[in-house]
Amino acid sequence: MAAHQDTVFSRFRLDGRTALVTGAGGGIGEGIAFAMAEAGAKLVLVGRNPDPLETLAKRIETAGLGQAQVRLCDVRNNEAVRGMIGALPALDILVNNAGTNIPGPFLEVSEENFDAIMTLNTRASFFVAQAAVKKMLEDPARAAKGGAIINVSSQMGHVGSPNRTVYCMSKHGLEGLTKAMALELVPHRIRVNSLAPTFVETPLVQRIVDTPEKRNFLVSRIPMGEMAQVEDVVGAAVFLASPAAAMITGTCLLVDGGWTAQ
């Protein structure tokens, strides 16, 4: 690293930094976690199911990327979140990735589904970020080191869509949180940005886009003509976490194939 510290490529490295990724057991979270390990970060993998987390930790270790810590935690439980994050030796990067969606017509949304989406996508993201920032600020060198928070949002945090009223609401809220946090945390040199993908080929999306008609409709709305792959998203996350993005805060990086440009 020292031999290349003046190159542009070195600024995309995350060596010596600890990154916590929620929802790391699959999909976008798994991809981001592995990519950050490739960039040199020490990983804390958070989720509710131990099996995929242990499998990912083994992949990271087998690839020679160091050891990843596995932390079982339901991020909807604020007390558990505070305890888990507070016990970490250090934290420099948070990827607020855990989320869900339960599509349905506006007039048929139940209170149960409303609460499930808002609790995980917005409320949990707020309190995970709060606990993470408190941990980051325990480091007296934080202002010199800097820090990064990435809220994994969605293109639906910028537009509307039928049958996704609550999901859009939750992600618009996350975009507002990102901007307000960024301004408040500037004195501590903790940057806060959101990452907003289009529909990505993940198990969650595959459960929702479960017919050829639904898939064709969604793809028709993406100017680039295809759904995204996890690999299309992870580089943006590494960039936002890295020194290469040192002057970027309070904004959103859209990885949407042109959806919101229409």
In the residue annotation, 134 being an active-site residue is answered as no
In the residue annotation, 135 being an active-site residue is answered as no
Please give the Cα distance from 16 to 95 (Å, whole number). 17
Please give the Cα distance from 27 to 83 (Å, whole number). 26
Count Cα atoms within 13 angstroms, Cβ side, for 108: 7
User: Taking Cα atoms as reference points, which of 149, 101, 158, 148 lies closest to residue 125?
Assistant: 149
**Residue pair 68/44 in contact by the 8 Å Cβ criterion:** yes
Nearest 5°: CA angle at 157, between 154 and 163?
90
**Which residue is catalytic, options 134, 135, 145, 171?**
171
DSSP assignment of 129-149, as one string? HHHHHHHHTTSTTHHHH-EEE
Residue 196, class by beta-carbon neighbours within 10 Å (0-12 exposed, 13-18 middle, 19+ buried)? buried
DSSP code for 88 = S
**Which residue is catalytic, options 58, 135, 167, 179?**
167
Active site residues: 167, 171
